[in-house]
Amino acid sequence: MSLRKIVFNTATISSVSVFRLLAQFISVPILSRLLSPADYGIVAMASPFMLFCFIIADAGIGMSLVRTPASETKTWSTCFWLSIVLSLALAFVMAIAAPLISRIFGEPQLGPIVMAFGGVVVLQAIGTVPGVALQQNHKFKTIAGIEMCAVMVSVLAAIVIGLKGGGGHGR
């Protein structure tokens, strides 16, 4: 791979981080006007459960495939389905544990957020193996485009939910 291509691919992937920061810079003040501090707190309390499940659901599967040739379809398929099964099991555990988590933290609105984040874990797992295939094929522009679209959709969804009164606690 030429130096020019390496620099371009690095800049492309780095632009995603810059875009994500800009999206946060714009969306956080908007959301802070639409949501109460309690709404932010509920999401902050639920986030570690989701992030922990991300780590377990990935289990290094993505990184293990980076150097595995695409011709090893059985390995790729096994990794894909293992990731899906792990994420579904973790989403199920999150759904079952949500009422207990809600009770422990003394916050009734925490349970549904934890349950919803279980779905995010599954969606993340669905994209792991295809993402590795894109990486292996040096499709960094495609990866960057997908990640930027995901950031835009999530920010817009959060703003729309906030505008529709999705916070729940009010001001």
Instruction: Identify the pLDDT of residue 171.
Output: 46
- Crossing angle of helices 3-34 and 140-163, in 10° steps, is 0
Question: Measured in Å, how far apart are the chain's first and last C-alpha atoms?
Answer: 55
Q: Residue type for 38, please?
A: A
Distance CA 101, CA 116 (A): 14
Domain check: are 93 and 145 in the same one?
no
**CB-count exposure of residue 121 (10 Å: 0-12, 13-18, 19+):** buried
Domain check: are 131 and 89 in the same one?
yes
User: For residues 66 and 129, is the Cβ–Cβ distance under 8 A?
Assistant: no
Domain check: are 76 and 134 in the same one?
yes
Element (H, E) at 2: none
Q: pLDDT of the chain along its 171 residues, tens only?
A: 688 888 888 888 889 999 999 999 999 888 888 888 888 788 889 999 999 998 998 888 888 888 889 899 999 999 999 999 999 999 999 999 999 999 999 999 999 999 999 999 999 999 999 999 998 998 999 999 999 999 999 999 988 988 887 766 544
Domain check: are 131 and 147 in the same one?
no
Instruction: Identify the pLDDT of residue 153.
Output: 94
Cβ neighbours for 148, distance < 8 A, ≥ 6 positions apart: 16, 19
Distance CA 32, CA 89 (A): 34
Range of the domain at 153: 1-34+140-171
User: The whole model's pTM is what?
Assistant: 0.79
Domain check: are 102 and 153 in the same one?
no
Distance of CA 19 to the CA centre of its chain: 16
Domain check: are 132 and 151 in the same one?
no
Domain check: are 144 and 98 in the same one?
no
Supply 34's token pair: 């639409």
At residue 95's C-alpha, the angle toward residues 85 and 151, to 5°, is: 75
Domain check: are 4 and 83 in the same one?
no
Supply 40's token pair: 């932010």
Distance CA 148, CA 150 (A): 5
